[in-house]
């Protein structure tokens, strides 16, 4: 994963104030919750830079998660505000990859990436419609990856 943040690409940011129920007995947010925070950010990203995920669902299409990677840099605690920034890394015929950076006012919390395949409710892989794919590609970072 590339730790730097995107310079010239469409990003979305969600702010999340840590609820007590996401902390664990180490006194910090349990690491599994960050995987959920990524979902908050990519739903927002679709709202802002593509089209609402609920439209895909209404068409019986789901972006099934096929890979998750998270590198944890710093713990967070109850009541801290985390920003989760999301951007698109690539899009292919039936799949795409999103990247994420999580921060608090104290510094970087984590970097992450997720990959997704478009499937129908029977789990069959389906091509991303050409118009959607073109629109998505226009949001991919332009730095030569």
| 92 binds its own copies per the rule CB under 8 A | no
Q: Residue 24 or residue 134: which is nearer to its own copies going by CB? A: 24
Choose between 66 and 138: whose C-beta lies nearer to its own copies. 66
Map residue 34 onto helix, strand or coil.
helix
* Position 108 contacts its own copies (CB under 8 A): no
Is residue 81 within the footprint of its own copies (CB under 8 A)?
A: no
| From 2-10, 48-56, 82-90, 134-142, span contacting its own copies (CB under 8 A) | 48-56
Q: Using a CB cutoff of 8 Å and minimum separation of 24, what contacts does 1-6 make? A: 1/69, 1/71, 1/99, 1/111, 1/112, 1/113, 2/99, 3/111, 5/85, 5/101, 6/87, 6/99, 6/141, 6/143
Q: How far apart are CA 82 and CA 85, in angstroms?
A: 10
H/E stretch holding 118 reads strand 107-119
Quick check: 65 binds its own copies (CB under 8 A)? yes
Residue of the chain from 68, 127, 129, 142 that contacts its own copies (CB under 8 A): 68
Q: Is 123 in the site for its own copies (CB under 8 A)?
A: yes
The answer to whether 76 and 82 are in contact (CB under 8 A) is: yes
Residues lying near its own copies in the complex (CB under 8 A): 19-21, 23-28, 30-33, 35-36, 39-40, 43, 52-54, 57, 62, 64-72, 75, 77-79, 121, 123
């Amino acid at each position: 994963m590339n730790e730097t943040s995107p310079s010239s690409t469409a990003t979305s940011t969600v702010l999340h104030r840590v609820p007590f129920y996401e902390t664990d007995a180490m006194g910090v947010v349990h690491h599994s919750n960050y995987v959920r925070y990524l979902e908050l950010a990519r739903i927002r990203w679709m709202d802002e830079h593509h089209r609402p995920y609920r439209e895909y669902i209404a068409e019986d299409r789901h972006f099934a998660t096929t890979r998750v990677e998270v590198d944890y840099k710093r713990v967070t605690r109850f009541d801290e505000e985390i920003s989760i920034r999301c951007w698109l890394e690539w899009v292919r015929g039936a799949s795409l990859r999103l990247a994420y950076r999580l921060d608090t006012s104290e510094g970087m919390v984590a970097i992450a990436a997720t990959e997704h395949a478009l499937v129908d409710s029977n789990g069959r892989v389906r091509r991303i419609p050409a118009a959607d794919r073109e629109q998505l590609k226009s949001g991919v970072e332009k730095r030569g990856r």
